[in-house]
Amino acid sequence: MMKRLPIIFFAILLSACVHSNAGQTAAEAVPDYAPEPLIISNEHKRAFRLGTNLLVNHHYRKQKLSAIASDVHLDYLQALDPSHIYFLQSDIDEFKHYGDALLQANKGDLSALLAIYQRYSERANALNRWSLERLSRPFDLGGDSTITYPETKAGKKQPWPADVAVAQAEQEKRIEDQLIRLRISGKSEEKALKLLRGRYTGALRRLNQISMNDVFDIYMNVVSNRFDPHSNYLSPRTNEDFNINMRLSLEGIGAILSLEEDRVTIRELVPGGPAYKSGKLSVKDEIIGIAQGHDGEFVDVTGWRLDKVVDLIRGKKGTLVRLLIDPANAAKGVREITLERDEVKLEEQAAQSTIEEVSEDGITRRIGVIKLPSFYMDFEGAQQEKSDYRSTSRDVERLLKEFRNAKVDGVVVDLRGNGGGSLYEAVKTVGLFIDKGPVVIVSDAKGGVRNESDDDAGTAYDGPLAVLIDRYAASASEIFAAAIQDYGRGLIIGSNSFGKGTVQTMVNLNDFVVNNTPNLGAMKFTISMFHRVNGSSTQFRGVSPDILLPALFSADEVGEQAEEYALPWKSIAAAKIKPAGRISDSTLGTLRQLHETRMLGKPELRRYQEYIDKVLEKNRQRTWPLNLETRKNEHADWKKYQDDYEAAQRKAIPSLNADKKTLKEIEERNAVVDDEDEKESFVPDVALFETLHIFFDYLQLLTPQQNAVADAA
């Protein structure tokens, strides 16, 4: 995704403005933190050699260190200072002689990575201290100056500051922008100043608590990511607590977090968890502050280590945590949400169904919709041979039986937001819709291939089928959608999927050394790639829908194509399959034409397209006025537009049964929320609404004789 307002160690909040002399004593309170001594150990050298050896010899991408050695130090600079705030151009010029640092590190000389980090620490300390001093003086936020945040994509980086004066001038603009954003989000001048002073003080404290292990982690992950974005080094601390730290499903909020340019970002919402059920969080939202209970003080977590953020979010079931969120949808603005910690129960991740009715020209179609948040399996129950253990394929088979009894005319499987899960269950679930045969091909780094197949003859459902996908449908979801498409089994509707078609393994580095060696950590790296049965990989390209719906994010903003060193698409020999059917080009052409006619002709769909276009424009905005009143007016105008849009859509679009479930959940949440700004509003699911109409058209094309009977009746 296109990174918005990139700032390392400083969150991009809806910030504040200051005209008074509030906080004049801030400069006196600048802390005098002494950095921790950084000493390279033999364990670091050993871990580096073992880790890079695994990458070179066993990663799917066959790549020697010498092929990337000349510019890995540039990636390291970028990892330390992704927004080009701290390093000066003179530093970058000086560091050119570190072009062989990677090869030297492989020989045991890690001095280059330490020297570069120490310069970074000096620059960052100085600018953070300057920022605290600047916060002690008043700001004039009534002028006509602006700030432009350049793109952070590869090849589109802004220049490094020419000198300290330029760095400070740009930093002053960033602070003004942060102040404005905090004020727009409802913070008082005093509160905004306090938050920012806390932010920069915390940045100084964390910066000077960095250990050599932390520096080593950064460099090792820079090297790992040059092989692909899903390969990384896990330090001993991270490796020991990996599952809990990364998946907050044990008495937490149920979210998988990642660090993107030093900002804590929602990578995935665990189906059934508090965050998922709240409807208040989305993938790519950034967590910039955390508070405990109803009235705890917010702690700014921009620039924090991921494990430290997790520690603040985790807690006992039934307790409250408040999050300050900078949403992926920039149009929403920074907001505060409250979540009650809970355990994620398997049944809450399970497939759910509704039956929707679509009527046109006197004909009514009953369409069964299965919402599938993930591909799950109760492995413990299966191992214990429990007769009632839960799994995706079992639950979907049960729902299909209910649909048959209800005499639905067709089935839609909704995979939006499904980040994947069990490959076994994805294959088994495809098997419910095809007779038998290969579902996905897996190729390994040595060129070997194997088929993952459905070996059970017969189907649980052989009627009309459609699959709804979006940019966040990934991995196992893409395998399911691709198989349905390649077998000609059903329509694929929505936006292009994520494009994550690789398989990773985890190797503990201590497995290669003798006993009593300190924990060296682990390497996670890519060893295999998924391919559709037609031989084309789902990697990078994802699955392209037959009928395209409007999307909030493009391929270069979210998904594998947005990653700098993603493995490329690859094709191998196709598997032999017996197609279940074929959707003709003429049928697809007719469906697309009918869809486009509706998008242009129906006010609610025109309004939907216009809304998405405006959100995309807002998310891509790079230049912002540093005038508080102007920004307040812009924010008010946008909020009014959003409110008007939502009200118009609620009035125009009949509620689906799926919508009614959502509306009930929203009403139940809002009933216990005191803050009016935190309450959620209901917006009809326009994508599902149009998907049902596309599917209705498909059913009409499939059964003309039945249509004639219906008309006559």
Confirm if 259 and 265 have CB atoms less than 8 A apart.
yes
DSSP secondary structure letters along 28-45: GG---PPPPP----HHHH
CA distances from 212 to 87, 111, 207, 218 (A): 20, 11, 12, 10
Per-residue pLDDT at 3? 34
Question: What averages of pLDDT result for each successive group of 10 residues across the chain (713 residues)?
Answer: 30 29 44 81 95 97 95 94 95 95 95 96 96 96 93 71 98 96 90 90 89 94 96 79 40 78 80 82 88 89 80 88 86 82 73 96 97 89 87 97 98 95 96 97 95 96 98 96 98 97 94 83 96 98 98 87 95 97 96 98 97 91 96 94 94 91 77 68 93 98 58 37
279 CB-side CA count, 13 A? 18
244 CB-side CA count, 13 A? 13
DSSP secondary structure letters along 520-573: --EEEEEEEEEE-TTSBBSTTT----SEE---SS-TTTSSGGGSTTPPPP-B-P
Per-residue pLDDT at 155? 53
Among 709, 636, 644, 589, which Cα is nearest to 14's? 636
The reply to whether the predicted model has a pTM over 0.85 is yes
**Residue where the block lists tokens 């919508």:** 659
Helix, strand, coil tally for the chain in percent (to 5) = 45, 15, 40
Q: Distance between CA 604 and CA 619 in Å, rounded? A: 22
Residues identified as active-site: 475, 486, 500
* Helices 686-702, 603-619: inter-axial angle, 10-degree rounding: 130
φ, ψ of residue 558 in degrees (nearest 5): -135, 135
For 702, which DSSP code?
H
CA distances from 426 to 135, 326, 415, 479 (A): 54, 34, 12, 7
**Residue where the block lists tokens 């970074």:** 120
Q: Distance between CA 73 and CA 201 in Å, rounded? A: 29
Using CA of residue 311, residue 317, residue 318, residue 323, what is the dihedral sign?
positive
Per-residue pLDDT at 5? 30
Q: Distance between CA 242 and CA 220 in Å, rounded? A: 17
For 68, which DSSP code?
H
Per-residue pLDDT at 307? 77
Confirm if 503 and 529 have CB atoms less than 8 A apart.
yes
